[in-house]
Each structure stands twice: as C-alpha cells, then as structure tokens.
Amino acid sequence: MDHRVLIVFLLWSSGLWAEDTHSSTAVTDDVKLVGGASHCAGSLEKKHQGDWRAVEDQYYDWNLISAAAVCRQLNCGSVVSLRRTRVSFVAFNNIITDYLISDPEQLFNMWPDEAPSSSLEITCSDSVRLVNGTNLCSGRLEVKSNHSWSSVCEDDFTQQDAEVVCRELGCGAPAVLQGAIYGEVEAPVWTKEFHCGGSESALLDCDSSVRNTCSSGKAVGISCSEPGDVRLFGGASWCSGTLEIKQWGEWKPVDERNWNLRLADAVCGQLDCGSVVSTRSRRSPVKKPMWGVKSGCDASSLMKCFTRLLYSSSILEVTCSESVRLVNGINLCSGRLEVKSNQMWSSVCDADFDQQDAEVVCRELGCGAPSVFKGGLYGQVEAPVWMRKFQCEGNESALLDCGSSGSARNTCSPGKAVGLTCSDTDDVRLVGGASRCTGILEYKHHGDWKAVDNLGFDWDLRATAVICRWLDCGSCTSTRKKTDSLERSVWWINTSCVQSNTTVKECVTAREKSSSSSLEIACSESVRLVNGNSRCSGRLEVKSNQSWSSVCEDDFDQQDAEVVCRELGCGAPSVLQGALYGEAEAPVWTKEFQCEGNESALLDCGSSGSARNTCSPGKAVGLTCSDPDNIRLVGEASRCAGTLEMKHKGEWRPVADWESEWDQKSAAAVCRLLDCGAAVSTTMTDDSSDRLVWWIKSSCVKSTSALLECVVLSGIIETFSGLDVICSDLLAQPNISPAPSTDGVSKAKQQGLQVLMGTNFTITCSIEPQYQGGFFQLIFNTSDTTKNYTLPAVNHSAHFLFSAADHTHQGDYSCVYHIYVFSRNFSSESQPLSLTVSASLIELIIRLVVLLLGMMLLIAALCFGSKAKSQRPGREKNAEINDYVLGGSRTTGWLAEEAGAQRKE
C-alpha cells in the first residue's frame, strides 16, 4: 500500500473543511454511518461498486478534522467523537481501506492487502453545528430542523444555553459568547428563544418560545474551551458521565480494572469539579477499544496512569460534586470546605456554618454523617471567602439548594475556615466464621451489606492483611475465593487500592455484573507481627480488652514462639531476638507466657501470676517465622537455574506471572530468596501443553521476602507459560586438594599443606558434575607475585603437577572453574589452600649433626678457657680475674664466695 494516498487524503479532507457549510450542503449517497442511535452516528461505511463495506483506518491517519468532513457530507452537525472499533472475522471483500482520492464524490479507491483490525466509529451531532470557526469547538451556531440549518439570534441565547451546546458537541465549557464573532446572521433564522436549564444533553431538549426576526450582527458566535486530556462525557453536567481520556489525539473510554475512587477524585480535580461522589461501571453490549489503567497508580500523576489500548465491555462512569469540595483532608471524606460559584472556589467561615449544613455536605459527597466539625482543622481560610451564611434544614441534597442569609461577609478570621470530617458511611465485616476475624468479606455501601469480590482475580495475602488491620484483628493467616452455586449482586473491590492503605470507600466500584464468588478471609484474633518484612516476621503484639500490647523478651521463650508461628500459619521460628523490629510500645503485656509448645493459640498458654509494667529498651520481642512454602528452580543441572516452581498448600507447581510484567528485578528477588546470588537472565516461556500453575504478581515479588504473599486467587489455574530464571551462583564451589599419590605432602592444618623441599607435588581442582567441559584456573598468590595456570576440565577435574618444590612455591592456591553455558560465561572459586615448603630428611640430619658438633666445640672451648685461667698465680691477678668475672662485685653471688675461698688457700 502506497503512502501517496495519505497526501491525497489530507487534500480531500482539507477541501471538505473549506467547503461552504450553508444549508445547501449536498448529501452524499455513497457514505453512511451504521449501527448508531441515528444516521449521524455509527461505523463508517462506503459504497463501492454497489456494495457497502466498512472503512478501515489501517495507518491511524484519521482524526477529528477528517470525521468532521464526513459529518458535513451526511448533512449532520459538528463532529462529537471519533473512535476505532476492532473488527473480528470480517471477510476480506467486505472491507475498504482509508486510501482516498481528491474527488469528494469517491472517498476510497484502493483495497487492503490484509484483513483489517479496526473500523471507524464516528458520532456527529444531530441538530447543532458550529461553522466558520477557528477549530472544532468554535463558530457561528446553527440549528437543524426539517433538514434545514438556521442561524440563532444572540438575543435568544444565554450562558446556560451555551453550556448545553458545548456539552452536546463534546467540547469544554463556553469561554466566549458574542454576536457576529464568526459572521453575520444568514437566512433562515431560528424562530424560537431557548430556555435551557443548563443540564440538558441536547439544545433541542430545552424549552423555547417564539421569535420572528434577528438584527444584523446578532448571530450567536460560541467559543467552547477545548477539552483537555480528561473529560466526563454524556452525563447530566460537566462533572458526571463516562470517563474518557485523550491519548495520541484520540478520545477513548477507560477500562475499570485497577480503577479506584482516589483516581476518580483526581479526575474531578483536573476538571475543576468538586470532590468525587461515586464511580461505577456499566456494561457495553460489545467490546470496545479502551485505555487501560496501570496497577497501583499514583493519583498525583494522573495521565501517567493510562497505558496501552485494550478491548473491554466495562465502561467507567464518574460523578463529581459540582459545587462543593473538601481539600487538604486525610481521605476523601475530610478536609477544608470550599464552595464554587461563578467558576470560582471560596472558603467557608465556620461562623456561617452549622451541624445541619455539615450533614448536607456529607450527604452530597456520598459520605457518612459529620463526625468532626471544627474551624481551622485542615488549614487556614484562603481567599476568596463565601459571603453568606448557609441556612440548611438538613434534608437538602446539595449545599447550594439551602437557603442563605441576606447579609454578606467579606473576611474570615484566621483559624475559622470550616474543617469537616464525615464518617466513612461504608463498613466491612467478616461473616459466617468462628469469630469476627474470620469469614466471608462483606461491605456496607449506602446502607446495603453485600459480599465482596475482587476485580481481576488478583487478591492476595497482602491485601488480606490490610482487611485484618481495618477490622482491628491480628495478622492474616489465609485467604481464598469461595464459589457458590448461584450468582448474586456483589461489591467489587480493587486490590491495588486496598494495599495503598486508604479507606474502604475509595477502593469499591459499584458494578452491574453479579458474581458467584466471594472472598473468604481468616485473621488471627489476638496476636500480630508488626513492622516486619513479611507476614511471618515482625514485633510481637498481643490483644486483650480491645487493646494491643507489646511483649517483653524476658517473658517469651522458644516454646512460646513455636505457638505464635503455628497460630499465624507460618513455619517454625527461625529468629527470636529483642528489638529486631523496633522498640517496645506502650502498653506492655504484663505477664510471662508459659507455653508447652503444642497449644494452638498463644492466649491458650498458661501465664505467670506476677505482673510487669515496663520493658527495658531493646527488649521487645522480635520474631521471624520461616516461610511454610518453598520455591525452587528445576529442569537444569544447577539449583540456581531452571523453571521457577513454588510449593503452596503442599503442592509443587510452576509459577506464572499474573501481570505480564516479569523482569530482571523480579528474577533478582527469586535469586536472593534462593541464596543464588544475582539474576543473570530471565524469560517467560511457553510450553506445548497446559498445566496447573500458581499465579503470582511480579510487582509483589520485588518488594517481599516471601513469595507466598504474592499468590493471587485466580480462578484460572491452567496455562502453558512459565518463568525461567538463571542466577549468577550457577556453579557449585570447586574443591582444591593435593593429589592422593603426591609424595612429601602432609596436612599441616585445615586448608593448609606442607611440602618437603625438592619433592614433586600435585594440586587437584575438581567440581561436582553439573556441566561437561570447561576449564580450571589455578591461581597462586604470594606477597610479591600472582601466577596463573590453566588446564581443561577432564571428568570434572584437573591436576596441576609441580617439580622440585622450593621456597618459591610457598603461598596461597585457589581453583577457579570456568564454563560457557546459557550463552554466558560463568565461574566459581574454591576456598584458598595455603602451602608451605619444608626441608628434606637428609638435610635435616646434616643440620642436626652440624649443630651437635658446634655445641660440643663450644663446650670444649669454654672448659679449656676456664682451666687455663684457674692455673695463673698471684692474688692480685686472681683478684683482677674475679673482678672481671663478677663485673666488679666481690660480695654478690656464689662466684664471689668461691673466689674468696681460693685466696685463703
């Protein structure tokens, strides 16, 4: 297919745009819109050689300008929207591509090379249009009646009428409303005056009265603001309707998955509406292209939340309050009150506001009754200030429906801005279990209790842990999807929203579809582990009389820990240490536990009679239980490479990624849990046949120390995909040792060898059988040098022979095994081996003989010298000798006494 047709298409569409748009516009008979509510909406078809065929936008060249040309060809109003709809199983000869020629009478003249994936769906307004404008949302207003277009007189048109027109055309709020701004009145002239309330969906739905003439320069010119990247379409006002997002120049609705009330509130804020009231999902009869929402998205960066196109039949509708909002609050039902009037938000002074007014606001926002009502609670007054005092009776549906005082207020004292906290009207509970902390999850919304199911089947233990905290129960112990025989109406809850620790209200979507499944949850009643890095670790707290208490290490032992780990559904205690997960927090458990180790719950154990009121710093019990479920890599020669499997509920199965976002970081977490070093590579693999798997969320794997927390409760348990992981510590550690037949070698100490001087010796490098081939590198280190020797691995070993050992062979030796597998080089190093070289036996004997002879000669010399000195005459000489021997002292020691005796003789 040829790109030159794109230029032709642009010429054609621009030509239609420039055409005269009077009521005399010719209606084409070879283009039509089918399947819509009227002849001005539906899928675009073109008659070719007598056959009607759908039009494909194969290169995504169509835009609203092109669609506007089609609306004019059909004598419809202005273009409202353009969508691409997927076409399935359509015969090749029933499709026309979007290749155009310059003749407007023939829209298309080329055929596709392959069956299309989408067709064009265009919606034009039936009865209003803007002509001669600078864009699609501006121009002189014309109204259609009896197939004729009429200008509208400015005198017959108000701001509320303009709001209806802009909404009907899918544009933003009216920014300019002025006569003759886009040309003079042209005959015929609309003969009636509109009386719109402002909430109508179409101009001709408004009331009207009769008018006959219109002065020159009085034709209504409207400029609607261009819609931004977000809009609510088709609702009763700007602040309600189907949520649509514009990405890459195209408006499409949003799929309900991963959506929550916090994101909806961000939409309301972006549209300058009030606070979010509700969000719901409705079903489309056919699947349509929609924008998806990323899991766990941050509402502060709304437009980054929307991801690739997908096809869905669940369409989101959002309702925002139009004229009130709560700002700077801790949740959607709290904040400083602001009221909107004349497109401006004003703070409200607490002197002008009472309990009945607060009840109306809370009801208007879909929240519960006001629980806190206090000036300055959520910030100071910001200008402007609402000028009148509200006088609500308490039963009104909206604050601006209330009466107000005639007196005006211009200022409000610091600290007097109305701060309002409405209670969360919704509630959660677990029913049908042995206690209030186990059972089927139910949710109360607008006074109606219903079971809860989760969107996307991605519920996991981390979301369950949040529910347990909301219920003020202990740690979560288990969760599962329970399936019943009959479907019933349920509330749908968003998993990622729950894990963000918001309120229940923010995470629920009212959905039309029923379900036969629900969430069954079990929490511990009286013990929990907090501040840990998994559900099976943390600082121990015990609940009694509705209060949680820290436990002191001195009151807790190994048998107590075994009971706690069993109670929480975890493995045996692996670490028990004070202050491991934070200091003790008041209150402190006042008695010492005396468990035997076989109890099913900690509070079933006996306790000492003595009480404890305090716990020394660093003494709060920190407990780590082992993970009861295991993971492994199988299918390869190494435990650190292969297909990921997990043992859950006593059964080993391969693991599949629920989110299709498995990456190197996910694999790194697996390698870390297996103590296999870093991740080298990972792939999502396909098998030839389906198999039972455990589904996990890759985003969870990256942030937890236990894969069990990442298992999702999917009803789909078969897949042909899996996860292969290769870790850096792929190889076993080599062994280094002397060859068994080496002469003159002995073990001097652990990991040390001693070799006799002049003998031959051999160092053997070996490794357990994993992979064939590879080579060994023997590294020799001394304080001065480093030497390397290399040999191929034969039968997984290599022998390095050294001749005539001398002192140059002394030092540390280590073996490094190298091999190329999985398209990468891997290596593993042994422990070091210290080698010393000692003298041979003959050399030792010679040295001993020489040493003995030397000692004998020394003794003989000493004796000879002593005898010669003793035979010299004369007292004076003897005295000199004695002085020399005694170092000048004649009275100290036995030598002095002996010398004196000799003089007497």
Helix, strand or coil for residue 380?
Answer: coil
Q: What pLDDT sits at residue 61? A: 63
Q: Provide CATH code, domain 230-320.
A: 3.10.250.10
At residue 843, the pLDDT reads 67
Residue 563: what pLDDT? 93
Q: Read off the pLDDT of each residue in 596-601 and give the average, rounded to a whole number.
A: 88
Q: What is the mean pLDDT of residues 342-370?
A: 86
pLDDT (tens digit, 9 = 90+) per residue, 414-444?
A: 778 888 888 765 578 899 988 889 999 988 7
Q: Give percent of the chain with pLDDT exceeding 90.
A: 17
Q: How far is CA 524 from the centre of its chain?
A: 27
> So what's the pLDDT on residue 795?
93
pLDDT of amino acid 678: 93
pLDDT for 7: 36
Range with the poorest average pLDDT among 156-170, 361-375, 815-829: 361-375
Mean per-residue pLDDT of the chain: 78
CATH fold, domain 4-126, is: Mac-2 Binding Protein (3.10.250)
> Which is more confident, 758 or 307?
758
Residues 6+ apart with CB under 8 A from 578: 553, 618, 619, 620, 621, 622
Residue 94: per-residue pLDDT: 32
CATH architecture classification, 527-625: Roll (3.10)
4 or 92: which leads in pLDDT: 4
Distance of CA 806 to the CA centre of its chain: 63
Closest CA to 184 of 154, 149, 144, 146: 154
Residue type, 731: L
The reply to whether CATH 3.30.70.1020 applies to domain 427-523 is no
List pLDDT tens digits, range 787-808: 999 999 999 999 999 998 888 8
Closest to 307 measured CA to CA, from 265, 262, 248, 264: 248
pLDDT at 635 over 60: yes
Output the pLDDT for position 825: 94
Q: Say whether pLDDT at 646 is over 70.
A: yes
Task: For residues 505 and 333, give the distance between their C-alpha atoms in angstroms, rounded to a whole number.
Answer: 9
pLDDT of 892-905, one tens digit each?
A: 444 444 444 444 44
Please indicate whether residue 867 or residue 120 has the higher confidence score (pLDDT): 120
Are the C-beta atoms of 443 and 453 separated by less than 8 Å? no
Confidence grade of residue 873 (pLDDT, cut at 50, 70, 90): low
521 or 3: which leads in pLDDT: 521
**Whether residue 879 has pLDDT greater than 90:** no
Instruction: Specify the CATH superfamily of domain 631-727.
Output: SRCR-like domain (3.10.250.10)
Confidence of residue 889 (pLDDT cuts 50, 70, 90): very low
Q: What is the DSSP string of 811-879?
A: EEEEEEEEEEETTEEEEEE---EEEEEE--HHHHHHHHHHHHHHHHHHHHHHHHHHHHHHT---HHHHH
CATH number for the segment(s) 324-422: 3.10.250.10
* Cα atoms in the Cβ-side hemisphere of radius 13 Å centred on 634: 12
CATH 3.10.250.10 residue ranges of the chain are 4-126, 135-224, 230-320, 324-422, 427-523, 527-625, 631-727
Instruction: Measure the CA–CA gap between 753 and 805, rounded to whole angstroms.
Output: 13
Q: Which residues pair with residue 709 across a beta bridge?
A: none
Class for domain 135-224, per CATH? alpha beta
735-838 sits in which CATH class? mainly beta
Please name the residue ranges forming H helices in 427-470. 461-470
> In whole angstroms, what is the distance from residue 91 CA to residue 102 CA?
28
**pLDDT score of 498:** 80
